[in-house]
Amino acid sequence: MRHLLQPKGLSFKFALTITAVVAGVAFTIGAVMVTLDWQRFHNELESKALLLAHSVAVTAPEDILRNDFWPLYKSLRNMANKVPGEMHDTRILSGMILNPDGIVLAHLNSKDNPMGIALAFPNRVEKRLFDAAMKVTSPTVLRNGIGNKGFLEGVAPIYSDEKLLGIVRVRLSYLELFLKAQRSAFVIIGLTLALVVLGSLLGAAISRKITRPLSAMTEGMEAVGRGELSDIKPIPVANDDELGILASTFNKMAKEMAEKKSLEEQIAVSEKMVALGRISAGVAHEVNNPLAGLMNCIDTMKKHPDDPELVERYLPLLDKGLNRIKNIVESLLIELRIEETHDTDNSTSLEELREIIESEIYGSEIEFIWDNHLGDDVLINRRRVQQIVLNLLKNSIQALQDKGTVIFRTFKDGNCIILEVSDNGPGIPEENKNQLFDPFFTTKTNGTGLGLWIVYRLVESMRGVIEVESELGSGTNFQVTLPAIESSNG
């Protein structure tokens, strides 16, 4: 299905939603697990620090009371070299035993912190930790920083008969804790990505299955829009769920629309045949009448070829009858040629008609008002629209009988072009309004009855609408509404 991979398609959005949900759930679970692991590792490290500090504090009182500090140093060294239990991967940064005044009794780094000397403070952090440690009255954990450069200290006071003899400080690095949490995070991130990939594949599969009927319906509706109802294929109905019901309904609708289109085509063909019959009958009637007169004239002239008065009387009649036949045929040919044209131009092409009408009414008492509000960017079907306007203007001028006002007005209204031709002539009788656009209907002495019929056919060919408003003694207004032509560069 070509709709499945479109970013704006429902299937893509559905698959993306499933992927996002799976990714969100996996990320949330992963974040919780990483947090729990970090907390567990942290608690284990604190327990190790307290255990180490307490194990040294338990054996230190006797040596401190004897002022024998060498065993204290050995105790720290043993602690550093042989970490009890499962603490072999724990990195001990420093260890020390101080008396209550802060004098070093033993230190793993004895070179920089000799016994009998007050503990040195290379920076403010060390001074802060020292002050906090000297206030401890029970085993406590002190922390500093986070990440692979952070550390924590297990601090345990040394008592003998409830007398404070000193404190033990054992500093452990966060590095091992950080590395453990990092490994755990990598594992969880890997699992999360795997779940996202699986979720994407699953979402795509589910989406494809669910949206396949919808995609088929979309293609069907596009075919409806193009008028290709015969190209709509029935959608297979696999289940009785909501999508199955929707597919069944669509199949039924498509079938009914195909039947309707077929019926409309048959009606259109019938209407064309009826229209063709009417035109044929009209042409036959309109041509036959002058032909009968012409035949009579010719027959009489044959019988009296030497009568000059007869020739003088019948030649104008022959000329008039032949011109009428010529006008009828020309009108039909013009309508057929123009109805097949599709050339477009901007609205300035209407200005060509202005001079034609002005020259036609020159010398009469007809006032002609031209009001064109279409911009140069508006496109029209040049020959069709020109013929519509020209026929309507000529119709109004003929109705005025050389005296009155004719107004032409055009403008754009939304996506439509409006053409208006109005006059203040005698108006149209009510009984004639329903026959205005019938071929060969005319109230004029020399009219063919094809002008308004041609206008109606041209408007209809452009999917437009023509409306007439008229009252006896108040004039007539023709309004044509045509869909605007989209500009190719717009």
Mean pLDDT computed over 71-90: 70
For residue 422, pLDDT over 60 is answered with yes
Mean pLDDT computed over 60-67: 88
Report residue 81's pLDDT band, with 50, 70 and 90 as the boundaries. confident
CB atoms within 10 A of CB 175: 17
Percent of the chain exceeding pLDDT 70 equals: 73
Cβ neighbours for 184, distance < 8 A, ≥ 6 positions apart: 33, 34, 37, 38
The pLDDT score that the predictor gives to residue 85 is 44
Mean pLDDT computed over 172-199: 78
Spatial separation of the C-alpha atoms in residues 441 and 452, rounded to whole Å: 9
99-113, 281-295, 450-464, range with greatest mean pLDDT: 99-113
The pLDDT score that the predictor gives to residue 450 is 73
Tens digits of residue pLDDT in 232-261: 566 665 666 556 666 677 677 777 777 777
The pLDDT score that the predictor gives to residue 478 is 93
The pLDDT score that the predictor gives to residue 32 is 83
Report residue 228's pLDDT band, with 50, 70 and 90 as the boundaries. low
Give residue 144's Cα distance to chain centre: 54
Tens digits of residue pLDDT in 426-437: 888 888 887 777
For residue 84, pLDDT over 50 is answered with no
Spatial separation of the C-alpha atoms in residues 353 and 386, rounded to whole Å: 7
Report residue 387's pLDDT band, with 50, 70 and 90 as the boundaries. confident
Out of 194-208, 284-298, 349-363, 471-485, least confident range: 284-298
Out of 119-133, 262-276, 291-305, least confident range: 262-276
Tens digits of residue pLDDT in 469-479: 988 888 899 99
For residue 216, pLDDT over 80 is answered with no
Higher pLDDT, 418 or 378: 418
Answer whether 0.95 is exceeded by the pTM.
no
Strand order of the β-sheet with 365-372 is: 365-372, 403-413, 416-423, 475-483, 465-471
Mean pLDDT computed over 87-100: 78
Instruction: Write out the CATH class of domain 10-181.
Output: alpha beta
Out of 5-19, 51-65, 216-230, least confident range: 216-230
Q: Is 449 left (phi over 0), alpha (psi -120 to 50) or beta?
A: left
78 neighbors 102 (Cβ within 8 angstroms): no
Q: Where are the domains of the chain?
A: 10-181, 234-340, 341-483
Coil, strand or helix: which one is 229?
helix
Mean pLDDT of the chain: 77
Q: Look-up: residue for tokens 């040629």?
A: 337
Fold designation for 341-483: Heat Shock Protein 90 (3.30.565)
Percent of the chain exceeding pLDDT 90 equals: 11
Cβ neighbours for 193, distance < 8 A, ≥ 6 positions apart: none
Mean pLDDT computed over 149-163: 87
> Domain 234-340, what architecture?
Orthogonal Bundle (1.10)
For residue 230, pLDDT over 80 is answered with no
Coil, strand or helix: which one is 163?
strand
